[in-house]
Amino acid sequence: MSERIKYIDALRGVAMLMVVIVHVEGFSVFIEEFHMSFLRRFCEALMLPLFFFISGFLTKPASGKKLTEKCIQLLTPACLLGLLYSFYIHKSPVSFIQNIYKYGYWFTVTLSEMLVIITLITKVLRRSKFGTIAIFVVAALLYVLKIPFNHIKLLDTVGDIFCFHQLFLYFHYFAIGYVLSNNKPVLNKLLSSEFIVIIALCVFSSSLYVRFTYSDELLAANLLLKIYRAVLDPILGYSGIFVIYKLFYDKCDVVSEGILGKLLQFIGRNTLEIYLLHYFFLPKLPELGIALMHSQNIVIEFICLLCLSLAVISCSLIVSKIIKTNKITAFLLLGAKPKFYIK
C-alpha cells in the first residue's frame, strides 16, 4: 500500500470518527443545546463533504456490470440493516422507506446514485473534452434542483424516498473529488501554493465562525438567509476539505507510521462496516449529556465523546468480524464481495 493510499485511508478514518462523534452526541447524550456546540459544528461542517469528496476521489470509471455489482453491494446491507434498525427503534418498514434519512442509512443510497451519475456522464462523453465541464454542470444543476424539491409536495415526497435531497446537496463534493483525482497536476499545483493555503485557512475559520454564531433555525428563518446558507455551506465545506487534505498530504510520513495515523487508517479501511453497524451500539446516556452541558468544557466534551465513539467503533468491528465468518451474511449485511462476483 502506497503512502498516498495510507493518508487517504487516514482521511476516511477522520471523517468516520467525526460521524460517530456527532451520532454519539445526537443519539446518546441527546442534549438539544449541544447542537450549538463548537465540536458538533466543526464535525458537521467537515464530515459529509470530506466523506463524499474522498468517495469521488477514489471512484474509477466502471462498466455497467461492475457498477451494478457495486450498487448491489452498497444497497443490500443498507436496506436490510435499515429495516432491522427500524424494528429495533420500534418503527415500521413503511416509515423507513418514507424517512428522508432512512434512520441514518441514507448514505449508501445517495452514494449509489452518485456512482450511477458519474458513470453515465463518463460513458456518454468518454471521447469528449467536455466531460469535466459536463460533470460541473450536472453538479450545479443538482444543487439548484434542491429548491423545487423542497417546496413542491409531490417532489418532496419522492425526494424523501430516494434520498434526492442529500444527492442534490452533496453531489458537487463527490464530483470535485472525482475530477481532481483524474487531474493530479491541478491538485498538486493547488496544494503547493502557499497563497491558496492561507486563503483556505482564512475562509474556513471565518465561515466556521459564522456557522457557529448563527443557529440553523436562524439561517432558515427567511429566504435571504437560506440563500446565504446555500452559498456559505459549500465555501465552508471546500475550504475545510482543502485544509485537512493539505495537512494529511504534507504529513503523509507521520500518518503512515505514527500510532494515531495507523489507528485512523484502520478505521478508514473499515468505514462501511462501522457505518452500517454503529447505530446499534449507540448508548442512551442522558445523564452524561446533562453533566457535559453544565461543564461547558470543550476538552472534557471531546474526551468523553471520543472515548464513547471508539467504544462504539470497537463493538461494530467485533460484530463485523463475526458476521464475516459466513459469506452469505457478510454479503447481505456488510456488502462483502460474494464469490460469484469474482472472475
Note the pLDDT of residue 327: 92
Q: Are 92 and 83 in contact (CB under 8 A)?
A: no
Note the pLDDT of residue 40: 81
Cα–Cα dist 26/322, whole Å: 28
Note the pLDDT of residue 51: 96
Cα–Cα dist 222/218, whole Å: 8
Instruction: Identify the sign of the CA torsion 136, 139, 144, 148.
Output: positive
What the block records as the C-alpha cell of 126 is: 468518454
Task: Write the burial class of residue 307 (CB in 10 Å: 0-12 exposed, 13-18 middle, 19+ buried).
Answer: exposed
pLDDT mean values, one per 10 residues, the chain (343 residues) = 72 96 87 64 91 95 85 96 95 94 96 95 82 93 81 77 93 96 93 93 88 64 66 91 94 84 94 97 88 82 93 97 95 81 47
What the block records as the C-alpha cell of 332 is: 447481505
Q: Is the whole model's pTM more than 0.85, yes or no?
A: yes
How far CA 314 is from CA of 17, 252, 263, 325, in Å, comes to 12, 25, 12, 17
Cα–Cα dist 179/70, whole Å: 20
How far CA 321 is from CA of 12, 130, 156, 273, in Å, comes to 20, 45, 39, 9
Dihedral angle of Cα 77, 83, 84, 85, to the nearest 10 degrees: 100
How far CA 14 is from CA of 11, 38, 128, 269, 278, in Å, comes to 5, 17, 36, 11, 16
